[in-house]
C-alpha cells in the first residue's frame, strides 16, 4: 500500500464529532468529486464518486450523520485500469435536494449555485481543518517521504483550487497552484509543511511514519556527507603524494639521492616506496617518528631544492587535511 493510500485510509476512519465539521468535510468531498444530474422532471440527483472503498464508506457515514439519509453505494469496475473500482454514492431521489445543496454550501439561499463555500462554513478553525481533510480525501495525494517531498490536491475547478490554496495559507502553509491539462494542482513541497498539513487534517499515524523516515533520511544524509568528506580528503592525500612522488623523481633525474641531506633522503625514499601513505603515516615510519608538520617541513625543503635546481613538479603537501 502506498504512503498516499495509507494516509487516506487513516483519514477515512477519522469522523469529526461536531456537525459543523462533518458538514464542512462533506461539502469539500462534494466539491471535489460530486456531480448533479437534473432530470426532465426537474429532479436533482446528487452523486459522489470515489475510487476508494474507505472514502465511499466515510461519505455514506457522513451523509447519514449530517442529514439522517441512507445512501446507496454502487460499484463500477473500471475496465482500463486493473483492479480499480469506482464507488458511486447517490442520495435518494425523493429528497429535498435544494436543502441538502444549501446546507453543503453548493447552492445559495436564492437557489443559485455558488462557486465557493460560504464564509460561514469556514468560519471556525475546526471546520477549516475538516474541509481540508475532505479536499485531501477527494483529490489529494502525498509522496512517500523516502522520495521527493510532495503533497498535492488536484481539482478541475479553478475556483476550488484557489479556495483550498487560501485555506492552506490561512494555516500559514506556502501552498502554490500549478496547472496541467485542465487540472489545477494545489501543492506543498517543504517537508515541514507536509508534516503540518498531515497534522491539520488529522493524519497522525501518517505523520509519525513520515517523521521517522525523515529522521532516518536526515541521518543517512549526514553519514553520506561525512563519507564524502573523508573521500575528498583521501583524494587530496593521493593527489598530494602523487605530486611529491613526481617532484622527487624529477629531482632524482638531476642529482643523486645520496647527495641529499639525511632527513630529506629518508623521506624521499619513503615516499617513493609508499606512494599512498599519508604524511602522518610517513612520519611514523621515520626513526625517530616525526609529526605531520615535521614531514611537511621536509617536503618543503625538497621543494625549495627542486626550485633552486630549476626542476619542475610542484609539491603541495598542504593539500592534505
Least separation in angstroms between CB 132 and Zn ion? 12
Could you say which residues in the range 29-58 bind Zn ion, by CB under 5 A? none
The burial of 71, by beta-carbon neighbours within 10 Å (0-12 exposed, 13-18 middle, 19 or more buried), is given as: buried
Strand partners, 50: 87
* Element holding 35 (H helix, E strand): strand 34-38
Interface with Zn ion includes 20 (CB under 5 A)?
Answer: yes
Q: Which of 73, 126, 286, 305 binds Zn ion (CB under 5 A)?
A: 126
Interface with Zn ion includes 103 (CB under 5 A)?
Answer: no
Least separation in angstroms between CB 123 and Zn ion? 9
Interface with Zn ion includes 73 (CB under 5 A)?
Answer: no
Question: Which residue do the cell numbers 561525512 mark?
Answer: 226
Interface with Zn ion includes 217 (CB under 5 A)?
Answer: no
Q: Is there a contact between 248 and 282 (Cβ–Cβ < 8 Å)? A: no
Least separation in angstroms between CB 176 and Zn ion? 27
Q: Is there a contact between 101 and 46 (Cβ–Cβ < 8 Å)? A: yes
Strand partners, 45: 37
Interface with Zn ion includes 65 (CB under 5 A)?
Answer: no
**What is the C-alpha separation between 51 and 301, in angstroms, rounded?**
77
Q: Which of 124, 214, 236, 245 binds Zn ion (CB under 5 A)?
A: 124
Strand partners, 180: 183
Interface with Zn ion includes 104 (CB under 5 A)?
Answer: no
Q: Is there a contact between 128 and 122 (Cβ–Cβ < 8 Å)? A: yes
Question: Which residue do the cell numbers 522520495 mark?
Answer: 147
Site string for Zn ion, 164-203 (x = CB under 5 A): ----------------------------------------
Which grid cell is 294? Answer: 615535521
**What is the C-alpha separation between 69 and 209, in angstroms, rounded?**
36
Cis status, amide bond into 205, omega within 30 of 0: no
Q: Which is nearer to Zn ion, 16 or 165 (CB)?
A: 16
Q: Kindly report the backbone phi and psi dihedral angles of residue 7, in degrees, each rounded to the nearest multiple of 5, phi listed first.
A: -60, -45
Q: Which of 3, 10, 11, 21 binds Zn ion (CB under 5 A)?
A: 21
Least separation in angstroms between CB 196 and Zn ion? 19
Q: Which is nearer to Zn ion, 21 or 251 (CB)?
A: 21
Q: Which residues contact 111 (CB under 8 A, 6 or more apart)?
A: 98
The region of 61-69, 119-127, 175-183, 270-278 touching Zn ion under the rule CB under 5 A is 119-127
Q: Which is nearer to Zn ion, 21 or 200 (CB)?
A: 21
The region of 48-56, 58-66, 118-126, 149-157 touching Zn ion under the rule CB under 5 A is 118-126
Which grid cell is 70? Answer: 441512507
Helix (H, G, I), strand (E, B) or coil at 49: strand
Interface with Zn ion includes 122 (CB under 5 A)?
Answer: no
| Size of residue set near Zn ion by CB under 5 A | 6
Q: Which is nearer to Zn ion, 12 or 127 (CB)?
A: 127
Contact positions vs Zn ion (CB under 5 A): 18, 20-21, 124, 126-127
Amino acid at each position: 500500500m502506498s504512503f498516499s493510500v495509507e494516509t487516506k485510509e487513516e483519514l477515512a476512519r477519522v469522523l469529526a464529532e461536531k456537525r459543523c465539521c462533518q458538514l464542512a468535510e462533506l461539502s469539500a468531498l462534494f466539491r471535489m468529486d460530486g456531480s448533479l444530474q437534473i432530470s426532465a422532471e426537474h429532479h436533482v440527483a446528487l452523486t459522489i464518486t470515489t475510487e476508494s472503498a474507505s472514502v465511499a464508506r466515510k461519505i455514506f457515514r457522513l451523509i447519514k450523520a449530517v442529514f439522517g439519509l441512507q445512501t446507496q453505494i454502487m460499484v463500477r469496475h473500471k475496465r482500463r485500469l486493473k483492479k480499480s473500482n469506482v464507488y458511486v454514492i447517490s442520495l435518494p431521489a425523493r429528497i429535498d435536494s435544494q436543502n441538502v445543496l444549501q446546507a453543503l454550501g453548493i447552492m445559495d439561499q436564492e437557489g443559485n449555485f455558488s462557486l465557493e463555500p460560504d464564509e460561514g462554513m469556514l468560519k471556525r478553525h475546526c471546520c477549516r481543518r475538516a474541509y481540508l481533510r475532505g479536499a485531501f480525501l477527494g483529490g489529494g495525494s502525498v509522496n512517500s517521504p523516502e522520495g521527493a517531498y510532495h503533497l498535492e490536491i488536484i481539482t478541475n475547478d479553478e475556483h476550488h483550487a484557489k479556495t483550498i490554496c487560501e485555506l492552506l495559507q490561512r494555516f500559514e502553509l506556502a501552498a502554490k497552484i500549478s496547472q496541467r491539462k485542465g487540472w489545477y494542482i494545489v501543492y506543498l513541497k517543504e517537508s515541514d509543511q507536509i508534516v503540518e498539513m498531515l497534522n491539520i487534517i488529522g493524519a497522525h499515524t501518517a505523520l509519525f511514519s513520515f517523521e521517522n523516515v525523515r529522521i532516518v533520511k536526515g541521518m543517512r544524509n549526514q553519514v553520506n556527507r561525512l563519507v564524502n568528506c573523508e573521500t575528498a580528503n583521501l583524494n587530496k592525500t593521493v593527489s598530494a603524494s602523487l605530486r611529491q612522488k613526481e617532484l622527487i623523481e624529477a629531482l632524482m633525474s638531476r642529482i643523486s639521492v645520496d647527495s641529499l641531506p639525511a632527513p630529506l633522503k629518508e623521506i624521499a625514499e619513503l615516499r617513493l616506496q609508499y606512494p599512498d601513505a599519508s604524511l602522518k603515516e610517513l612520519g611514523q615510519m621515520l626513526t625517530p617518528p616525526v609529526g605531520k608538520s615535521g614531514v611537511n617541513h621536509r617536503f618543503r625543503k625538497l621543494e625549495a631544492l627542486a626550485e633552486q635546481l630549476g626542476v619542475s613538479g610542484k609539491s603541495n603537501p598542504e593539500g592534505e587535511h
